Amino acid sequence: MPRRPNTPCKHPGCPKLVPYGTSYCADHAPAHAHDVKTTAEKGYGKRWQRARAVYLREHPLCVRCLKKGRATPATVVDHIMPHRGDPVLFWDRGNWQALCKSCHDTKTMTEDRYQDFHY
């Protein structure tokens, strides 16, 4: 039976081919180790869900939209400075901000992109 062809490494800009079913080449696999952990393993378990709900009740509007003069409901609690697995920074409420999904996705893709996460 024929084997499936190799596929490109999923790391942006990497030209290497990896065996089918593998996502990253040996060079980039350590940088994406966080991809295989569950959200609970990353710290976003029940305790986070409760804290997030309380924070969104206290801060119901997106702070970035408010700066632009729009009143948009916040749906995400964002870490202003990415915690990168640091539990002290993760639970520091001074490092939290309420954002709408659109603003959170934009911030994540522009400011927090391609960083190493250590959980």
One DSSP character per residue, 78-97 reads: EESS--TT-HHHHT-GGGEE
| Angstrom distance (rounded) from CA 28 to CA 84 | 17
How confident is the model over 23-33, as pLDDT tens digits?
A: 899 999 888 87
How confident is the model over 35-91, as pLDDT tens digits?
A: 777 888 888 999 999 999 999 999 999 999 999 999 999 999 999 988 878 899 999
How confident is the model over 43-58, as pLDDT tens digits?
A: 899 999 999 999 999 9
Which residue type is seen at 86?
Answer: D
Per-residue confidence band for 1, with pLDDT thresholds at 50, 70 and 90: low
| Angstrom distance (rounded) from CA 19 to CA 10 | 12
Q: What is the pTM of this model?
A: 0.68
